[in-house]
């Protein structure tokens, strides 16, 4: 049964509509129920009725709409309110009837689509007239401390007399002297302002009436293009993009006047503190152009409405509203959760749903899944054969929906965006230790070098190998990860304007330098020290760099490494030494320069073997002096080698 009582309104006290109104035809479907044309049995007046289905979580919205209509519908640009009725129905459930002014002209969205269907576009003066009237309605609401919060083409209706009316106040909010801002994320996704969307994640985020200004700017684009920006995306994915994307604009701004483009730009200022109010916009040049032409434009609008009606109905797109304050979702939005490639397309997106979807993916060896523009990578800890040349080609220039989620798709997105918009792009890799960040970075660089069509193979090898070198010097074995990056890394790849890769540069920051002299139990020093020690020992060159041959340097000693033989017998260390030496050569190091690198590393290890003792006797002083003098002399030899 329908909840009979809101917070302050007892719905069951309203009269039965059957005594006054008779349904004559169906007009359409609203957010929570159908809309019908009705006839007043007593005086023959025609009206529209919104019949609200018995959904148990919308009483607050009904009460809000009722209160706003009752107090603010006395304005020429707000739909008139004729009353609320309560119809008891034991079989189908009780229903509420909201009886409103009949706007036979339909929604402005439908009128625009009618123009586009005839391969025409709505003229700017008509658009300016519609927006002016909508602004007047919004100004009336805002002056009475009310935010509409769902301004869009379908909520701006036309009358056959050329009138423009704001409708649907189900999610409108009234501001008070003690609460001039709101913090509930509500509205229809494509029209929602960035600050409204932010309330979903940031509890301390608020907004004011200027969120309606943003929505009107999106509606202005809708009047030009027929659809709001991002309309081809799932609504939840649009919510990810709106706060991150630059402010949208008309699809072909060059086809429209500078004034129209500027009006939209002003409306879609992302920082709402700098965004104009509706009163400010009423003074904009695009809007003031209609001054003195209102009657003429109204007549033209009436003619267009008549032509549109003669052409027949156009296809209507349904855009569902969201309301984050609700504990459960609109019944029409709830669906059985299915396997998806993009979590943002799920109707219900909470922690349990995300975990369930990730578990399903992982069990099927599907290690990648999108969340809007983000790619989640699950480390499979095994080779799945996903990075072959065949896979690489599959994702070059392909639509995202054409293939399963993949890190190569992210590389392609960044590359294509860079080339198309001629602007720098950035891919951020983040995750827990052992999540696979290092491997993901390798794969991105690998695919970007393929996309960048390196002018020669040597350049491609250099870019790929420089990663290995930096990781040898900056990665180490920890308790939970044998190849943990102990530093932050910023890899910058350089491309020509045509998209050809010409070089790369790696910067490191926050290097864990303390690891050189001390490691926690069960952990190791940086990889490079083990690699060069094993490699130099294999080539009988330890003595050349004054490294001990009978006992590992103190900086390398741990529970798993007690003798030099432990390193010499480690085939992995020796193979890595060969690989590192080859990397240096390909990058361009000479043997002399390579020897200097080894000397620096050996000097660091030798410094760790210096011992100091306290001065007690003359005999001890002499002994200590002799030992330390020898150690320092050894260290100076290393310095000479470095020079």
DSSP string, 166-197: E---TT-EE-BTTB--B---EE-GGG--HHHH
Which residue did the predictor score with more confidence, 643 or 568? 568
CA 351, 356, 358, 359 torsion-angle sign = positive
pLDDT digits (tens, 9 = 90+) for 304-361: 888 877 776 555 555 656 555 544 444 333 344 567 888 888 877 777 788 888 888 8
pLDDT digits (tens, 9 = 90+) for 265-276: 999 999 999 999
410: pLDDT confidence band, cut at 50, 70 and 90? Answer: very high
Burial 543-575 (b: 16+ CB within 10 A, else e): eebbbeeeebbebbbbeebeebebbbebeebbe
CA distances 500 to 455, 456, 494, Å, are 8, 11, 8
Q: What is the pTM of this model?
A: 0.58
pLDDT digits (tens, 9 = 90+) for 55-89: 444 566 777 788 888 889 899 999 999 989 888 87
- Provide the 10 A C-beta neighbour count for residue 94: 17
pLDDT of residue 322: 57
For β-strands 146-147 and 95-100, DSSP reports them as unpaired
Please give the Cα distance from 290 to 126 (Å, whole number).
9
pLDDT of residue 227: 92
CATH architecture of 1-102: 2-Layer Sandwich (3.30)
Question: What is the arrangement of strands in the sheet containing 164-166, beginning at the earlier edge strand?
Answer: 106-107, 156-158, 164-166
- Provide the 10 A C-beta neighbour count for residue 337: 14
| C-beta separation of 584 from 550 below 8 A | no
Is 150 a residue of the active site?
A: yes
Long-range contacts of 430-433 (CB under 8 A, 24+ apart): 431/377, 433/478, 433/480, 433/481, 433/484
Phi, psi (deg, nearest 5) at residue 374: -100, 140
Range from 34-38, 134-138, 374-378 carrying the lowest mean pLDDT: 34-38
Instruction: Please work out, in degrees rounded to the nearest 5, the angle formed at the alpha carbon of residue 380 by the alpha carbons of 379 and 386.
Output: 100
pLDDT of residue 327: 41
pLDDT of residue 639: 37
Rounded mean pLDDT, 621-642 = 44
Question: Coil, strand, or helix at residue 446?
Answer: helix
Please give the Cα distance from 360 to 366 (Å, whole number).
8
Q: Answer yes or no: is pLDDT of 602 > 90.
A: yes
Please give the Cα distance from 186 to 433 (Å, whole number).
37
Please give the Cα distance from 473 to 481 (Å, whole number).
16
Which residues have a Cβ under 8 Å from the Cβ of 119 and sit 6 or more positions away? Answer: none
Catalytic pick from 150, 208, 227, 342?
150
Q: What is the DSSP string of 275-313?
A: SPPHHHHTTSHHHHTTTT-HHHHHHHHHHHHHHHHHH-P
**Which of 3.30.70.270, 3.40.1160.10, 3.30.70.2740, 1.10.510.10 would CATH assign to domain 104-322?**
1.10.510.10
Rounded mean pLDDT, 553-574 = 78
pLDDT digits (tens, 9 = 90+) for 460-513: 778 877 878 888 999 999 988 888 989 988 889 999 988 999 888 888 888 999
Which residue did the predictor score with more confidence, 235 or 226? 226
pLDDT of residue 185: 52
| C-beta separation of 187 from 171 below 8 A | yes
- Which tokens in the block code for residue 66? 């009722």
Provide the residue ranges of all domains of the chain, joining segments of one domain with +: 1-102, 104-322, 527-642
pLDDT of residue 34: 80
Which residues have a Cβ under 8 Å from the Cβ of 28 and sit 6 or more positions away? Answer: 34, 35, 316
Mean pLDDT of the chain: 83
């Amino acid at each position: 049964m329908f909840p009979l009582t809101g917070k302050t309104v007892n719905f069951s006290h309203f009269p039965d509509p059957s005594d006054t109104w008779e349904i004559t035809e169906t007009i359409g479907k609203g957010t929570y129920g159908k809309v019908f044309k009705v006839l007043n049995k007593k005086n023959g007046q025609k009206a529209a009725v919104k019949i609200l289905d018995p959904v148990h979580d919308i009483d607050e919205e009904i009460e809000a709409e009722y209160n706003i209509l009752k107090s603010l519908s006395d304005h020429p640009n707000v739909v008139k309110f004729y009353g609320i009725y309560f119809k008891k129905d034991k079989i189908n459930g009780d229903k509420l009837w909201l009886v409103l002014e009949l706007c036979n002209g339909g929604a402005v969205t439908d009128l625009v689509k009618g123009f586009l269907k005839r391969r025409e576009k709505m003229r700017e003066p008509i658009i300016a007239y519609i927006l002016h009237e909508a602004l007047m309605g919004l100004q009336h609401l805002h002056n009475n401390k009310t935010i509409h919060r769902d301004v869009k083409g379908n909520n701006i209706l036309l009358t056959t007399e050329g009138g423009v009316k704001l409708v649907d106040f189900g999610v409108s909010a009234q501001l008070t002297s003690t609460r001039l801002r709101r913090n509930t994320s509500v509205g229809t996704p494509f029209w929602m302002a960035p600050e409204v969307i932010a309330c979903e994640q940031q509890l301390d985020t608020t907004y004011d009436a200027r969120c309606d200004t943003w929505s009107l700017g999106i509606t202005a684009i809708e009047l030009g293009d027929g659809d709001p920006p991002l309309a081809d995306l799932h609504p939840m994915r649009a919510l990810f993009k709106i706060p991150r994307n630059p402010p949208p604009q008309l699809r072909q701004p060059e086809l429209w006047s500078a004034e129209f483009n500027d009006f939209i730009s002003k409306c879609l200022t992302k920082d709402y503190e700098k965004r104009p109010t509706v009163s400010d916009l009423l003074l904009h040049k695009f809007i003031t152009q209609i001054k003195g032409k209102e009657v003429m434009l109204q007549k033209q609008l009436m003619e267009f409405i008549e032509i549109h009606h003669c052409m027949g109905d156009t296809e209507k797109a349904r855009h569902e509203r969201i309301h984050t304050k609700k504990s459960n979702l609109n019944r029409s939005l709830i669906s059985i959760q299915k396997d998806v490639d993009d979590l943002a397309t799920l109707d219900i997106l909470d922690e349990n749903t995300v975990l369930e979807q990730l578990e399903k993916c992982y069990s099927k060896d599907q290690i990648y899944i999108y969340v809007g523009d983000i790619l989640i990578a699950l480390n499979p800890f095994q080779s799945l054969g996903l990075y072959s040349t065949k896979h690489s080609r599959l994702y070059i220039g392909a639509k995202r929906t054409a293939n399963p989620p993949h890190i190569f798709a992210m590389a392609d997105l960044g590359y294509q965006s860079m080339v198309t918009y001629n602007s720098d792009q950035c891919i951020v890799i983040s995750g827990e230790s052992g999540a696979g960040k290092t491997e993901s970075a390798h794969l991105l660089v690998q695919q970007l070098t393929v996309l960048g069509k390196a002018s020669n193979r040597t350049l491609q090898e250099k870019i790929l190998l420089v990663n290995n070198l930096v990781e040898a010097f900056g990665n180490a074995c920890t308790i939970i990860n044998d190849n943990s990056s102990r530093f932050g890394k910023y890899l910058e790849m350089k491309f020509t304007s045509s998209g050809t890769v010409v070089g790369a540069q790696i910067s490191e920051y926050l290097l864990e330098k303390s690891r050189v002299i001390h490691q926690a139990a069960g952990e190791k020093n940086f990889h490079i020290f083990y690699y060069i020690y094993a490699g130099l020992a294999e080539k009988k060159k330890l003595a050349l760099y004054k490294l001990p041959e009978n006992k590992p340097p103190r900086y390398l000693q741990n529970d798993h490494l007690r003798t030099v033989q432990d390193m010499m017998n480690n085939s992995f260390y020796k193979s890595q030494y060969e690989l590192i030496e080859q990397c240096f050569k390909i990058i361009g190091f000479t043997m002399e320069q390579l020897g200097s690198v080894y000397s620096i590393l050996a000097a660091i290890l030798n410094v760790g073997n210096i011992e100091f003792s306290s001065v007690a006797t003359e005999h001890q002083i002499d002994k200590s002096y002799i030992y330390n003098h020898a150690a320092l002399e050894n260290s100076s030899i290393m310095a000479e080698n470095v020079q």
